[in-house]
Structure 1
């Protein structure tokens, strides 16, 4: 059967058959789309493919969501179906590649989102390796761009769930993170993140930047980049974490944990004064 367009019921469309690459939907933009569809109709069909029980969504998630919302809020029967291009991919890999290709053209996906779909597709068993997922989903990009995407997938594997709004990070920021993760500085990065609940991606990045800069400086000067030489982390007892941070003017010791009390800090300072007085 060749690709063709027809109206299909909303309740026959499954949005979960393929992992989605868009992880954040802008509420204002979605409202604008919904208003446009209400006033002018759906100008571009969504894309679906046949599955055992209806259709799986390839592209057009935002358009479908807008129609579903209009159906729920207006109760108008004209919103019970949606115009769709029914495609006939050979398998899920081809369907997913079609979705990524469509979104590459129509959506301004962040570097994190572009790499995240690779991880998601691999974890879902659609591809047997990250490399296969990359080459199938992004066949047109250059080798250098694919290398950068592969590096970002390593950041996702190491730090997904730790970073605040990672979609806000630039490609350069993610590549810098990937570089120091390859130096085995992941524990130091996570320790810094866990020290405080930052409120934004920017404040969290500023917390991580001194660590990244230290690693980059040592690497450029051909000095040891081993994460524990010199020591940067210490856990002397349960509930106490100490992290050493290099700054332009010296060093900072971050002492955190449930037992990091005023009394303990006073004792630490007293001991430091005694020790330094003996040098």
Structure 2
């Protein structure tokens, strides 16, 4: 059964779940502060107990970001909070997601991250279960899309500098490549531009994704081969160009100048016989 508590503000993590990215309106926040200061807080916030306390936080915020912010700026030490039980958490989170969807556009990356956050906290067992509860009104196609974007977040989180700037179609293309078994290739492609902006990262990924879409890898033959990783510390990736192919060498072994000379010698032997 959900119970009402007065929790220390310092123990509530306002960012435990992703929510809309709109900035709090200063005027509306000032009016809310005045209302709380004169009449008290009429509606408690909603929280859940974190499975593992982190950074001093013991509870995560489900709804009530504006109320929480206003009370903090008023200098309150505690706040009335409805502690959701495992049985009621899914419905409370679904209501929060629905409210955010109506207020602003949540990026595909944020939706995938939200799904993974709820699973990590133990609220849902699988992405499919989380999506069904948090996004009950969407079509089967949209659910499958959110599931594929969740897979992208799981595989590439930390490599994309500004993942929120990637469009739905861009994440669709990345998800298709991951489904085809090319996670290592995408990671190797992104690593050299890990600190670049979204535009540079996409322009680096795009030819690789187009090549995968144009000629999927045959699961029986493993061809075409798009990457070779050797234990000696050498990675070779092929990349299509308008006029042919580029081979990109990376890793400690690639820094040795003689490597490229050896490759050129071998190619010369193949094509200049006799």
Q: TM-score range by the shorter chain?
A: 0.7 to 0.9
Counterparts of 1:54-69 in structure 2, within 5 Å, are: 57-61=61-65, 64-65=68-69, 68=72
TM-superposed deviation, 1:51 = 6.4
Q: Distance in 2 between matches of 1:99 and 1:236?
A: 48
1:246 equivalenced with 2:249 (yes/no): no
Q: Distance in 2 between matches of 1:79 and 1:132?
A: 40
Q: Distance in 2 between matches of 1:147 and 1:88?
A: 29
1:80 equivalenced with 2:84 (yes/no): no
Q: Distance in 2 between matches of 1:250 and 1:155?
A: 29
TM-superposed deviation, 1:15 = 2.8
Q: Which moved more, 1:254-263 or 1:201-210?
A: 254-263
Q: Distance in 1 between matches of 2:151 and 2:29?
A: 42
Counterparts of 1:1-279 in structure 2, within 5 Å, are: 11=9, 14-15=12-13, 19-22=16-19, 29=23, 33=25, 35-36=26-27, 39-42=30-33, 48-49=45-46, 57-61=61-65, 64-65=68-69, 68=72, 70=73, 78-80=74-76, 91-218=88-215, 224=218, 228-261=222-255, 262-278=257-273
Number of residues of Structure 1 aligned to a counterpart in Structure 2 = 258
Unmatched tracts of structure 1, length 5 or more: 71-77
SS at match of 1:20: coil
SS at match of 2:224: coil
Is the Cα contact below 8 Å between 2:48 and 2:62 reproduced in 1?
Answer: no
TM-superposed deviation, 1:278 = 2.2
Unmatched tracts of structure 2, length 5 or more: 50-57
Cα distance change on mapping 1:253 and 1:64 into 2, 3 Å: same
SS at match of 2:45: strand
Per the alignment, residue 53 of structure 2 pairs with none
Q: Distance in 2 between matches of 1:125 and 1:264?
A: 49
SS at match of 1:146: helix
Is the Cα contact below 8 Å between 1:48 and 1:55 reproduced in 2?
Answer: no
RMSD (CA atoms): 3.7
